[in-house]
Amino acid sequence: MRKFIGLGVVALSLAVAGSALASDGAAIFKSKCSPCHGAEGQGTAMAPAFKGNAFITGSKDGADIAATIKDGRAGAAKKYKNFAIAMPAQKALTDDDVKAVIGVLKELAAKK
């Protein structure tokens, strides 16, 4: 009986830890976004800045930002034509991951 209780506690701990890690917006930003947008969202030669970005600050519910993250932007959908590369789609991110990243983007965009 103790074995089952111990296994249950371990399984629950792993599930909670996995959920917390999966939705760590700062870590996802660092690994997925910062290589192109910069460590502080300042923008680079490859991608625009998030600081003061009107697209990010103007989004009320984040649905348009979420669609951009999940679907990327290439070809005619590319908003910033002055950057040579397209934004890659991030289909592997969960909805919770995307919401967490949007929170980080909103914080960065609020900085001027």
CA nearest neighbour of 87 among 109, 69, 65: 69
Answer whether residue 16 is part of any domain. no
- Tell me the pTM: 0.76
Looking at 30-34, 40-44, 58-62, 80-84, which range is the least confident one? Answer: 80-84
Distance CA 40, CA 57 (A): 16
Q: What's the CATH number where 35 sits?
A: 1.10.760.10
Answer whether residue 85 is part of any domain. yes
Contact in structure between 94 and 70 (CB atoms under 8 Å): no
Looking at the 3D structure of the chain, how many domains does it have?
1
* Burial of 53: CB neighbours in 10 Å, binned 0-12, 13-18, 19+: buried
Answer whether residue 58 is part of any domain. yes
pLDDT higher than threshold 60 for residue 45:
yes
Domain that includes residue 95, residue range? 25-110
pLDDT value at position 16? 47
Answer whether residue 48 is part of any domain. yes
Alpha helices in 50-94 (DSSP H): 54-57, 63-71
